[in-house]
């Protein structure tokens, strides 16, 4: 400081290199901005700064969830230095953004963030057995979410969007088994066809300019989700829906429950905490919205045990409707010793099929040290497929596994009265 005196006062913004400014923009605008930067002889190019880094928290709800969880835990940690250390370790910026380098799109990066956040949470939990719950705007979007927790689990529900379970922390293994990612359009998807059929980029191009594909046919995996990938997603479908269109997100759903708000109420006593979620919605038939009510009660007891879910459907619906409860489990990958099991048969996590009628399924992931058992009391066929995205990395376009979708589907006739079903979600460490 003595040798080099200050030239002037300066205030630094939230800045990065120009490509980061491009990636933080909404997908359609990012493409326009990228095309503009590639034009020659642009006057005043240095003023084209693109977007703002924190827009990644708007662009990707999954990034915002991690960020806001870190803020809550940092505040709660206070002077607990060990808990604060884990919160700091969860702040590695690579996990919160996406561009050429994968970032948020890499499941192991999200898993690392959640591992440290869960470790911090465990240090702040009561030492005795407990079960608690609250309703609060935890992701700061202006709408309330619901949270249930005990010594083993912390479950987060998106009341404004179907009452979906969008986070489930299993504390013994420090893993969020629902750290999923929605399939969404990215500006660089326009280059997929060029990447698949073009030649490998010449050595004069940078990683920001290369158009390379790591496998043929990646365009066949460009499907986009119209809702967030979570669990306890309530699908009210007609008899014309099949697994293929559902997988591609190209089908008509006559029920208005997936993205619509549920009313949530929490009740507590010494034995358990219960979250009741209900929506008085509709099933659309022949241009008419027929009244349909879905209620789901989620119960969590102190210390350990399953997450219990009880469903009730009521409505004046003509004929059969098909009701599916969608779950998405993030297992980091499809290979190795991981598997899905139902009806005594083990399947790879790459399977896309309608499995036979059953009342349970098991998912096994020794690498995250978690075994998942999902049970229900009314047998049903199970739809399943891997949720995969096509993203951009240093090596070009590639297909990345994000989660395994499983959904039991029931044919329901409400003309005979209400329909009721119970589910149990058990988690345990791998033996």
Summarize pLDDT for 226-237 with one digit per residue, the tens.
999 999 999 999
Q: Which residue has the higher pLDDT, 424 or 35?
A: 424
pLDDT of 297 > 80? The answer is yes
pLDDT tens-place string over residues 91-148: 988 999 998 777 899 999 999 999 999 999 999 999 999 999 999 999 999 999 999 9
- Three-state DSSP at 272 gives coil
Architecture of domain 187-428: Distorted Sandwich (2.70)
pTM tops 0.95, yes or no = no
DSSP tally for the chain: helices H, then strands E:
8, 17
Q: Are 195 and 213 in contact (CB under 8 A)?
A: yes
Q: What value does the mean pLDDT take over residues 45-59? A: 84
Of all residues in the chain, the percent with pLDDT exceeding 90 is 72
Q: Which residue has the higher pLDDT, 277 or 216?
A: 277
Q: How far apart are CA 167 and CA 230, in angstroms?
A: 8
Residue 203: predicted pLDDT: 47
Of all residues in the chain, the percent with pLDDT exceeding 70 is 95
Minimal CA–CA distance to 297: which of 308, 306, 287? 308
Q: What are the tokens at 257?
A: 């429950």
pLDDT classification of 206: cutoffs 50, 70, 90: low
CA-based max dimension of the chain = 87
Domains of the chain by residue range: 18-54, 187-428
Q: How far apart are CA 339 and CA 365, in angstroms?
A: 7
Minimal CA–CA distance to 57: which of 70, 48, 44? 70
pLDDT tens-place string over residues 389-406: 998 777 788 899 999 999
Dihedral class, residue 262 (left if φ above 0, else alpha if ψ from -120 to 50, else beta): beta
Contacts of the segment 290-294: beta carbons below 8 A, 24+ positions apart? 290/315, 290/316, 290/317, 290/318, 291/315, 291/316, 292/236, 292/255, 292/317, 292/414, 294/234, 294/236, 294/257
């Amino acid at each position: 400081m003595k040798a080099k005196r200050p030239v002037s006062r300066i205030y630094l913004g939230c800045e990065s290199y120009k490509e980061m400014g491009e990636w933080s923009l909404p997908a359609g605008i990012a493409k326009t901005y990228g095309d503009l930067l590639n034009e020659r002889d642009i006057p005043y190019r240095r003023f084209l700064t693109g977007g703002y880094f924190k827009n990644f928290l708007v662009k990707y709800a999954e990034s915002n969830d991690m960020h806001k969880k870190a803020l809550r835990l940092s505040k709660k940690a206070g002077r607990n230095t060990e808990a604060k250390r884990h919160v700091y370790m969860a702040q590695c910026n690579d996990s919160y953004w996406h561009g050429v380098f994968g970032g948020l799109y890499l499941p192991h990066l999200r898993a690392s963030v959640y591992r440290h956040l869960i470790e911090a949470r465990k240090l702040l939990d009561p030492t005795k057995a407990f079960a608690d719950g609250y309703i609060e705007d935890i992701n700061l979007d202006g709408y309330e979410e619901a949270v249930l927790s005990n010594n083993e689990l912390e479950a987060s529900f998106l009341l404004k969007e179907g009452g979906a379970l969008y986070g489930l922390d299993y504390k013994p293994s420090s893993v969020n088994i629902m750290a999923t990612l929605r399939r969404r359009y990215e500006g660089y998807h326009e280059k997929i066809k060029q990447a698949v059929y073009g030649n490998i980029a010449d050595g004069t191009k940078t990683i920001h300019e290369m158009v390379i594909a790591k496998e043929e046919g990646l365009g066949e995996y460009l499907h986009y989700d119209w809702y967030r990938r979570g669990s306890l997603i309530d699908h009210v479908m007609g008899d014309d829906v099949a697994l293929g269109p559902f997988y591609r997100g190209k089908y008509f759903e006559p029920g208005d429950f997936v993205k619509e708000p549920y009313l949530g109420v929490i009740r507590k006593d010494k034995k358990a905490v219960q979250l009741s979620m209900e929506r008085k919605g509709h099933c659309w038939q022949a241009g008419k919205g027929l009244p349909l009510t879905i209620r789901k009660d989620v119960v969590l007891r102190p210390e350990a045990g399953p997450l219990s879910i009880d469903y009730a459907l009521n409505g004046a619906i003509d004929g059969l409707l098909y009701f599916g409860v969608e779950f998405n489990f993030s297992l980091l990958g499809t290979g190795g010793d991981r598997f899905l099991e139902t009806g005594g048969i083990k399947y790879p996590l790459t399977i896309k099929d309608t499995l036979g009628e059953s009342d349970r399924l098991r998912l096994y992931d020794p690498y995250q040290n978690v075994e998942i058992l999902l049970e229900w009391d009314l047998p049903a066929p199970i739809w399943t497929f891997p949720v995969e995205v096509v993203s951009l990395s240093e090596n070009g376009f590639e297909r990345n596994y994000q989660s395994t979708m499983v959904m039991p589907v029931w044919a329901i006739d409400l003309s005979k009265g209400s329909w009721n079903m119970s589910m149990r979600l058990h988690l345990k460490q791998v033996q």
